[in-house]
Amino acid sequence: MKSFTVPGTPKPVVTLKDVAARAKVSLATVSYALRQHPKIPVATRELIATAARELGYRPNPRVASLMAHIRGAHSRSYRERLAFVWVHTSRAEARQNSFLKLVFAGARERATQMGFALEEFWTADPGMTDQRLEQILRARGIIGVVLSPVTTAEAAVTLGWNWRHFAPAVIGNVTWTPELHHAGHHHFLAMRLALLKLAKLGCRRPVALIEATVHERNKHAYVAAFLAHRPQAASARGLVRLVTRGDTTDLGPWLRAARPDALILSHADLVDLPGVSKAAKELRGPRVTLYWSKDTPRGIGGIDQCQDRVAGHAVDLVAAQLNANETGAPDLPRMMLFPGRWVEPRFPERTVQAGA
């Protein structure tokens, strides 16, 4: 006689014990395998994962949360390792670049809080290939992977990995193929925040210089927000300009003709472009950068992107996948975006005239 379920009757809860019975292994083996613990052979992990899928096993999120807390609260002789993969970045750059050092420090701090060890790997090491690095991670039993921001000019990134073996998350907004989970900066809201703060300072005619590479990477978000939220929307299009480092075009005439009362820069060093520095000195309003850091010249305010916190959220994305036994490139990637915080600029000696 065939069994059937009466409509409206709750389905029986599948437990770890049921999975262990189906896979013919111990309960402890199932528990370790579903957490992708390297002490369990890959073949056994796959066998148990298949049994869990066939039975319709779903982890209890409350239990998973409790276990994550326990792992973070107690020091253990073994800590599960996450890989921090420096993508197209040299060891020297990772150690010298203040932005990259901040990112890694944030990821490492969050990993430690959650009970993970964070181990660094470099795609740019001599002789390293995508396939070799994948083999190294798999041989070491590393499932969770945090992928660094990419500081090169490329608009899209690809690693030739079989993603089904990993639980990955990307720091930053660069497009990946296939697309993965991201934790990044919310460029649109950051520009909107800058415009709102400048408006409170009395600025009615801000202009913006946006680096072209940044414009492409953030899917035109800075320019879109400037056009949508600038105080005088009708004239906005002529007051935002895309620029390229190394361009010899004199921007002084354009800036003077715009008669700005505030200058927004995607990066503070764009003030060194031809004609900008001199025109900026004549400016009687504040200068702000959308990429503020402790190294930003004194007096310039703007948006602190809090990239250490962003990196920590990428670790959270990896941990969430591990707790849910998820691996592979997602069909619907999660995008966690954060607008950063405002840093007040120093106001020049003259008061901005509203409506100037």
pLDDT score for 30: 84
Model-level pTM greater than 0.95?
no
pLDDT score for 15: 85
Q: What is the pLDDT of residues 283-298, one digit of tens each?
A: 878 999 999 999 999 9
Report the mean per-residue pLDDT for the chain.
87
Mean pLDDT of 33-52: 82
For the chain, domains (ranges, CATH) are 16-58 (no CATH), 81-185+308-338 (3.40.50.2300), 187-305 (3.40.50.2300)
| CB contact at 8 A, 207 and 255 | yes
Mean pLDDT of 131-159: 92
DSSP 47-80: HHHHHHHHHT----HHHHHHHHHHHHHS--S---
Structure-token pair, residue 95: 């150690």
Work out the number of other CB atoms within 10 angstroms of the CB of residue 220. 15
| CB contact at 8 A, 107 and 169 | no
Worst-scoring range by mean pLDDT, 16-30, 71-85, 287-301?
A: 71-85
Work out the number of other CB atoms within 10 angstroms of the CB of residue 336. 15
Work out the number of other CB atoms within 10 angstroms of the CB of residue 109. 16
Q: What is the pLDDT of residues 58-71, one digit of tens each?
A: 766 545 555 555 55
Worst-scoring range by mean pLDDT, 187-196, 231-240, 302-311?
A: 231-240
Angle ∠(105,154,174) on CA atoms, nearest 5: 55
- Cis check: omega of the bond before 178, within 30 degrees of 0: yes
Instruction: Please choose, from the candidates 191, 108, 113, 117, the residue with its C-alpha nearest in 3D space to the C-alpha of residue 148.
Output: 108
Work out the number of other CB atoms within 10 angstroms of the CB of residue 164. 8
Between CA 113 and CA 144 the distance in angstroms is 16
Asked if pLDDT for residue 350 goes beyond 80, the answer is: no
Bigger pLDDT: 59 vs 102: 102
Worst-scoring range by mean pLDDT, 11-15, 73-77, 173-177?
A: 73-77
Asked if pLDDT for residue 352 goes beyond 80, the answer is: no
Sorted by sequence, the CB contacts under 8 Å of residue 259 that are 6+ apart come out as 205, 356
